[in-house]
Amino acid sequence: MGKLRAVKPEVKEKRLKMFVFGAAGIGKTTAAIQFPKNYIFDLEKGTSQYSKTINSAGSVVFQTNNPDEIEEETNTLLTTKHDFVTVTYDPFTQFYNAVQEKWNRRFIQFSKNEKEAEMMDFGMRYWGKVKSEVKALQRMILNLDMNVIITAHQKDVYGAGMTKQGVTFDSMKGDDYLYDYIFRLELMNGKRMAFTVKERAEIGQAKFPEMFEWSYENFKKFYGADILEKSSVPVEMATAEDVIKLKALLDVVKVEDEIISKWLTKADCDSFDEFNKDQINKCIAFLENKKGSV
């Protein structure tokens, strides 16, 4: 008979992972840089006027909209020891656009001729590459032992007869599902107010009110300074040798494709190369145990 493997969930204090959107000029960048020891990915040069504020907060700025540079820098934040406790991507919309441009150039490069490049509908293969790359960065971001601030532009939502029904974020569909908190910014009587659009919390134990004035002091009050200011711990990733060992075991110990698919789904990875050390070690241990029993 099979053995049930579910366990009681542990109570864990998670890093603050939030998605923030608002109209142009609302001050999304100004809001984000209030967080100290902040590694800021400035994707549209929005921090140029705030050098004094950023320096006094012990924060730094990396100005780029090159997807490869953003991914490499994020991986370094994930896997090495550093003094930063918060990371900001301002705005994430620009990363998404840059990834589209990157793959558009590559698909055009390998078109048979100029006419094909102009007329070509890249279709599912193109969008598959775009979504895969965006997802890979998002996976790294969620694994960071840091507070995360993702900003996005705002756009209007229209219904029948082009009647405005409300506003939402201007980013890739599904971005709102990834983060524990979503806040919409709005200026009211000269104050920058945050509206809590989404919060993952125990029933009846929400940390944030429905509306509050945006300030780092308020975030410490509602979320806890001990969590927000906790030192970052690097994540050890699977090595090339780990991946080779796992694949070698799979050649010897035959397992169903369904099991491998479950491993990848549980880790939210597209390949074994994206596993962290703990994830790949569990798979290796499973295979070695199965090999021994055979």
Tens-place pLDDT, residues 193-251: 999 999 988 888 899 999 999 999 999 999 999 999 999 999 888 889 999 999 999 98
Residue 195 phi/psi, 5-degree rounding, is: -105, 125
- Does residue 224 sit in the same domain as residue 135? yes
Average pLDDT value for residue range 76-86: 96
Query: Quick check: is 210 in a domain?
Result: yes
Q: Tell me, yes or no, whether 44 and 120 share the same domain.
A: yes
- Single out the residue in 228, 260, 285 at which a domain terminates: 228
| Sign of the CA dihedral running 238, 241, 243, 249 | negative
Residues 185 and 95 in one domain: yes
Which of 180, 202, 228 delimits the end of a domain?
Answer: 228
- 281 and 169 part of one domain: no
User: Range of 268's domain?
Assistant: 240-293
Residues 121 and 41 in one domain: yes
Residues 138-169: pLDDT tens digits?
989 989 999 999 998 877 777 777 777 777 77
Confidence of residue 129 (pLDDT cuts 50, 70, 90): confident
Lookup result for tokens 């598959």: 128
Provide DSSP, 186-224: EEETTEEEEEEEEE---TT--SS-SEEE--HHHHHHHH-
Q: Is the pLDDT of residue 3 over 90?
A: no
143 assigned to some structural domain: yes
pLDDT of residue 284: 92
Burial of 161 (0-12, 13-18, 19+ CB in 10 A): exposed
In terms of DSSP H, where are the helices of 80-189? Answer: 92-109, 114-119, 123-143, 175-178
Buried b (16+ CB within 10 A) or exposed e, 263-278: bbeebebeebebbbee
Domains identified in the chain, total number: 2
Neighbours of 77 (CB within 10 A): 20
Which CATH number does the domain housing residue 72 bear? 3.40.50.300
The verdict on residue 235 lying in a domain is no
Shared domain for 108 and 47, answered yes or no, is yes
In a domain, 130, yes or no: yes
Which neighbouring-strand residues pair with 187?
192
Note whether 166 and 154 are within 8 A (CB): no
User: What's CA 240's distance to the chain center, in Å?
Assistant: 24
Of 47-61, 106-120, 140-154, 255-269, give the lowest mean pLDDT range: 106-120
Q: Which pLDDT score is estimated for 119?
A: 46
Rounded to two decimals, what is the model's pTM?
0.83
Q: Are residues 108 and 63 in the same domain?
A: yes
